[in-house]
A and B are shown apart, each in its own frame.
Chain A
Amino acid sequence: MNDTPLNDDLRDLYQDLILDHGKHPRNFRVLDGANREALGHNPLCGDRLVLSLKVDADNVVRDAAFQGSGCAISTASASMMTEMLKGRSVAEVEKLFDYFHALCTGATPSAEGVAADDVERLNALAGVRHYPVRVKCATLAWHTLRNALVPSDEKKASTE
């Protein structure tokens, strides 16, 4: 089979950065002293992650970590997200969420209020918009993050 173009196409989704984070997720651990957490679950494919955060009195995320099992896309997305969170206010996180959500679902994302290097990092997952059934894998961590930050009785994110 001669399918170099095919691999190029798949490379759009599975970039080196994604594969690396998928294989060696950062902040993949229990977070001692966490004060916010949420469980994310994608019942369709069985992806499951627990996100733990340390949020200070000023509503700034001081640390973030996750555990669980999932595909390369959901693991990489969670890993890259936890790397971005430290030092961000809840308001900033909300902007990142909106940008990323629009990016993945094919809407034209507004980069307003999002730093250029954040845009670049989030854009690494933009390939997922061409794989509609995989969008939920990419957004699972971010939905879970939202649930962890927005205090509610239901600490469980679901992409269904």
Chain B
Amino acid sequence: MAAMNSVAERRADFPVLTQTVHGKPLVYLDTGASAQKPRAVLEAMQSFYEREYANIHRGVHELSARATERYETVRGDVRRFLNAAHADEIVFTHGATEAINLVAQGWGRTFLKAGDEVLVTQLEHHANIVPWQLLQQQTGITLRVVPITPDGDVLIADVAAALSPRTKLVAVAHVSNALGTVLPVAAIAEMAHEAGALILIDGCQAASHMSVDVQALGADFYVFAGHKLYGPTGIGVLYGRRDILNAMPPYQGGGDMIESVRFSGTTFREPPYRFEAGTPPIVEVIGLGAALAYVNAIGLDNIARHEDLLLRYATEKLSAIEGLRIIGTAPRKAGIVSFVMANIHPHDIGTILDRHGIAIRAGHHCAQPVMEALGLPATARASFGLYNTTADIDALAAAVIRARELFA
């Protein structure tokens, strides 16, 4: 069974990992930016194109019926993956960014007014900041920010202090993409609800690292991206509680989302279709379904355990390197190590590691407020996936030491 698979066997599932880069075996430590794809995902998409492809929800013909069925089956798979109560609470979008914008424009613009507050944290990805700033310009809401600690953590007490009767939505990351911090989202959800606010959880960095139960978390909205979960690009998921989605107007207008269109007035379909205007990313949904099956076969708990091991190993190994400082030392972290080095800019680290065949990310990680809060222009970030090994981390540490030697 796949659950018994060794990491070596899992690696063999990922064609991209077998290549060399600059003459060195590729060491891929940038899963936080995007995960590589197992053959099962590539084959599912290819085979769907070859055998079942047609537009959905609109044909009486056989292929359209089959494609529609496959598409809707994945909706059920996502429901199970998130432990949502109902499949109609799962909306397919073109990405996580679109999912957050859908909430900002569909829900925020409808129900919020000047003086209402949206609360975010200082460690959000730009995708969970800018949509609220746009909403601010449109409606005059106030955007409030919960500060992070020097460890890169978000304290419940700071969230409590920032909540007020004016807070209508708390929008927080489940896991920080810049630092790997795991936020206490269940506690934050409880506090938000007590204050009369809803909570949106940005699960982009969480869904691939831990099992997620939106009901247990108390999430009103939960978003994630297919491409960070070993699935294709161009597909995102918005989970929204049924009663909330039911009350929301459409986000975009077009085909598929309507009940009837007349110039005297158009009526819209029920959720989730109301929010899926136009031809959706059909094949990407099929790919996401294959990715979920792949991840489920290994088991998210196994993946979490594996990545936790890698995280601890990497933290220990990197900490031992003179002049290296790990950025983000919150007690709960997942799958990500950010670091800086004395006298070497992260960008130079990135180039040197690249020449060793090691792919990491160097920069602000689309989280400039995090960098500002910590007083850094950038960090180097290694992020782990189910295919990484301690040997990958050994290679990382060795190359970092060579970088230090080069700059000595």
Q: List A residues at the B interface (Cβ < 8 Å).
A: 1, 3, 6-7, 9-11, 13-14, 19, 23, 44-48, 69-73, 75, 131, 133-134, 137
15 contacts between A and B (CB under 8 A): A1-B398, A3-B402, A6-B23, A9-B22, A10-B352, A10-B406, A13-B351, A14-B348, A14-B407, A23-B407, A44-B363, A45-B347, A46-B371, A47-B347, A137-B347
| B356 at interface by CB-CB < 8 Å | yes
Task: Name the residue in B344, B346, B355, B371 with the highest tally of chain A Cβ atoms < 10 Å from its Cβ.
Answer: B355
Interface string of B37-67 (1 = CB under 8 A from A): 0000000000000000000000000000000
Contact yes or no, A46 B348, CB < 8 A:
no
Docked complex Cα distance between A137 and B351 (Å): 12
Which one of B24, B356, B378, B407 lies within 8 Å of A45 (CB-CB)? B378
Q: Which residues of A contact B348 (CB under 8 A)?
A: 14, 71-73
A73 and B23 alpha carbons, distance in the complex (Å) = 24
B242 contacts the other chain (CB 8 A): no
In the complex, the chain B residue whose C-beta lies closest to that of A10 is: B355
Closest to A6 in B: B355
Contacts of A73 in B (CB 8 A): 347-348
Is B377's beta carbon under 8 Å from chain A? yes
CB distance from B259 to the nearest CB of A (A): 44
Given contacts A3-B402, A7-B406, contact A46 B378 (CB under 8 A): yes
Tell me which residues across on chain A come within 8 A of B22, comparing CB atoms. Answer: 6, 9
Say whether A72 contacts B355, CB under 8 Å.
Answer: no
Q: In this assembly, does B362 line the interface, its C-beta being within 8 Å of a C-beta of chain A?
A: yes
Total A-B Cβ pairs within 8 A: 65
Known: A6-B23, A10-B406. 4 other contacts (CB 8 A): A10-B352, A14-B406, A46-B368, A46-B371
**CB nearest neighbor in A for B364:** A46
Docked Cα-Cα span, A1 to B356, in Å, equals 10
B345 within 8 A of A: yes
- Given known A-B contacts A14-B406, A71-B348, A73-B348, A45 and B355 have beta carbons under 8 A apart: no
User: Mask for B386-408, Cβ within 8 A of A = 1, else 0?
Assistant: 00000000010010001000110
Q: Mark B113-148, 1 if CB is under 8 A from A, else 0.
A: 000000000000000000000000000000000000
- The smallest beta-carbon distance between A22 and chain B, in angstroms, is 8
A19 surroundings in chain B (CB, below 8 A): 406-407
Contact of A131 among B351, B363, B395, B402 (CB under 8 A): B351
Contact indicator A69/B363 (Cβ below 8 Å): no
Known: A69-B377, A73-B348. A7 touches B402 (CB 8 A): yes
**B378 to chain A: closest residue by CB:** A46
On whether the beta carbons of A70 and B406 are closer than 8 Å, the reply is no
Q: B335-363: which residues lie under 8 A (CB-CB) from chain A?
A: 343-348, 351-352, 355-356, 362-363
Question: Closest Cβ of chain A: how far from B318's Cβ, in Å?
Answer: 17
Residues of A within 8 A of B402 (CB): 1, 3, 6-7
Per-residue A-contact encoding for B308-327, CB less than 8 Å = 1, 0 else: 00000000000000000000
Complexed CA–CA distance, A104 and B363 (Å): 22
**Contacting residues, chain A, for B364 (C-beta < 8 A):** 46
The docked-state distance in angstroms from the alpha carbon of A71 to that of B377 is: 10
Query: Which chain B residues border A45 with CB–CB below 8 Å?
Result: 346-347, 362-363, 378
Q: Which residue of B lies closest to A5 (CB)?
A: B23
A121 to B398: give the CA distance in the assembly, Å.
33
| Given the contacts A1-B398, A14-B406, A47-B377, A70 and B345 also touching, CB distance less than 8 Å | yes
| B256-284 CB contacts (< 8 Å) to partner A | none
Asked if A72 meets B345 with Cβ closer than 8 Å, knowing A9-B355, A134-B351, the reply is yes
Q: Which residues of A contact B355 (CB under 8 A)?
A: 6, 9-10
User: Smallest distance from the beta carbon of B230 to chain A beta carbons, Å?
Assistant: 26
A50 smallest CB distance to B (angstroms): 14
Return chain A residues, CB-CB under 8 Å to B406.
Answer: 7, 10-11, 14, 19
Partner of B345, one of A1, A13, A71, A133: A71
Residue numbers in A under 8 Å from B343 (CB-CB): 23
CB distance from B387 to the nearest CB of A (A): 21
Q: Which 10 A-B pairs have the closest CB atoms?
A: A71-B345, A71-B347, A46-B377, A46-B378, A45-B347, A72-B348, A71-B348, A69-B377, A45-B363, A46-B364
Q: B351 to chain A: which residues have CB within 8 Å?
A: 10, 13, 131, 133-134
CA of A134 to CA of B363, assembled, Å: 13
Interface centre among B345, B352, B395 (most CB of A within 10 A): B345
Alpha-carbon distance between A19 and B345 when the two chains are bound, in angstroms: 12
Q: Which residues of A contact B395 (CB under 8 A)?
A: 1
Contact in complex: B344, A72 (CB < 8 Å)? yes
Minimum CB distance partner of A44 in chain B: B363
Q: Mark B1-27, 1 if CB is under 8 A from A, else 0.
A: 000000000000000000000111000
Complex Cα spacing A137 to B347, Å: 9
Report the separation of the CA atoms of residues A16 and B90 in the bound assembly, to the nearest whole angstrom.
57
Q: Give the chain B neighbours of A44 by CB distance below 8 A.
A: 363
* B345: A residues at CB distance < 8 A: 70-72, 75
By a CB distance below 8 angstroms, the chain A residues around B363 are 44-46
Tell me if A48 and B407 are in contact (CB < 8 A): no
Contacts of B347 in A (CB 8 A): 45, 47, 70-71, 73, 134, 137
